[in-house]
A and B are shown apart, each in its own frame.
Chain A
Amino acid sequence: MANLKDIQRQIKSVSNTQKTTRAMKLVSTAKLRRAEELAKRSRLYAAKMNQVIAEIAGRIKCNKVGGIDNRCFADIENPKMVDIIFVTADKGLCGGFNIQTIKAVKKLIKEYKDKNVKVRLRGIGKKGVEFFKYNEVELFDSVIDLSSKPDKERADEFIMTSIEDYKDGKIDGLHIIYNGYKNMITQELHVNNVLPVDTTNFECEEIQNSILEIEAQDEEHMLDSLVSRYVEYAMYYALIDSVAAEHASRMQAMDTATNNAKDMVKSLNVQFNKARQAAITTELIEIISGVESMK
């Protein structure tokens, strides 16, 4: 049986850990509330934006609008190179949050590799970037402190490279992978096929009797500018959704850690008491046998 001092030391260390994890949980709870609020307010806008884009894309697909040849809405049959942007947290200690995203990224890369498509990986968030660096997967570029402090301007700047390259034909697809907020206890992994605009779920019949009219003179310009805004917003939304999810995930992880520490202290206390009793018993036996021998 371990000696008393050792157990005492262990109890102290575990309860200190417990204090830390509890504090971290509280911090995450506070941060979560703010991030959640931001994500919630934007959710409606993001959904409507997707809807508008999907409708335009669908109409273009169903040939309701003649003469539009925009790459963003085209069906690219043999992609040669695609961009994958992933968003992970800058910090760990948030359960499976980062690893889930990383796994999805690895899966998608493999899928493309099997099809002989080159992948250009762009990373946001220290954890993911470090992981791929360690595993010697080449990253095209990366940003470290954007995922903990989402900023529209910096997000726009980052995504701009992909939009431009897509329009110039250097890349043939763009995916954004991130772990989004679903509710307090669950996160939802999103793999968004941002470009070309996804029209697979669009039913041509639905729009048969309404004809889309785009201000004629500038339809190219309008679609270009609309798509850029759409992609920029998709990126920004991914960031704020990811932050909310990160804090929710960390809050939960820290809650579990606090509970585990509590259980550990409990069992260590039992061990300590047992050891103490054993020590007393031994001492008593020693005294009694000493007295017995004197008789």
Chain B
Amino acid sequence: MDKLKLEILTPNGEIFNDDVVSVTLPGEEGEFGVMPHHASLSTLLEAGVIDIEKDDKSVESILINWGVVQVDEAKVIVLVEGAVAIRGDNESDIANALEEAKQLINDIADANPAIASVSARIESAAKRLL
């Protein structure tokens, strides 16, 4: 099957760079999924969760606060300002990541109606890992 190259970059470095099966992004006008051979597209992302489906069918979630995405046939480049990956090898790592993610949500200053659902989503993402 064709692969999609996904790069997620923050001002503090790269947090994801690998081939993936598909990725779901929180676009400004709603969530959208990207699979290989997607048409070229540039758009803004709002605060939300990026769900990445990896080769082994596992799903990784990354919380972001703002971003811009550039999609073309073979790769997706996501530039975000702040991001926390909900991942870890053991329970305490995941709990830490979750804590950080909540911190990031609190930092997003403007009261955004989407925020409540975002916190619910990261909680469930963390549960999935446990």
Contact = CB atoms under 8 A, between A and B. Distances in A.
Interface of A: 41-42, 44-45, 48-49, 51-52, 55-56, 210-215, 217-218, 222, 225-226, 229, 233, 236
A218 B7 CA distance: 25
Interface extent on B, as a size class? 20 to 34
Contacts of A229: 66, 68, 81
Given A48-B79, A55-B70, A218 B29 contact: yes
A51 B58 CA distance: 31
Contact of A211 (B9, B39, B44, B70): B39
Contacts, number: 65
Given A42-B11, A42-B12, A218-B28, A52 B79 contact: yes
B25 to A, nearest CB: 12
Top 6 A-B pairs ranked by shortest CB distance?
A: A41-B13, A215-B43, A45-B9, A210-B40, A213-B41, A52-B70
Contact of B68 (A44, A226, A236): A226
Nearest to B44: A222
A244 to B, nearest CB: 15
Nearest to B43: A215
Interface of B: 7, 9-14, 27-29, 39-44, 66, 68, 70, 72-73, 77, 79, 81
Contacts of B72: 210
Nearest to B71: A213
A27 to B, nearest CB: 25
A48 B7 contact: yes
A36 to B, nearest CB: 14
A226 B70 contact: no
Contacts of B39: 211, 213
A210 B9 CA distance: 24
Contacts of A42: 11-13
Contacts of A55: 70
A44 B44 contact: no
Given A212-B41, A222-B43, A226-B68, A48 B9 contact: yes
